[in-house]
Amino acid sequence: MPITVRIPTYLASFAGGRNLLAISGSPATVSEALTALWQEYPGLRDRIVDEQGALRQHINIFVGDEAIRFAEGLLTKVPADAEVLIVPAVSGG
- What are the domain boundaries of the chain? 3-88
**Buried/exposed code over 32-71 (b: 16+ C-beta within 10 A; e: otherwise):** bbbbbbeeebeebbebbbeeeeebeeebbbbbeeeebeee
Parts of the chain with a pLDDT under 50: none
Average pLDDT over the chain reads 92
Q: What is the pLDDT of residues 35-53, one digit of tens each?
A: 999 999 999 999 999 999 9
The whole-number pLDDT of residue 21 equals 96
pTM: 0.90
Pick the CATH number of 3-88 from 3.50.50.60, 3.40.1280.10, 3.10.20.30, 3.40.50.300: 3.10.20.30
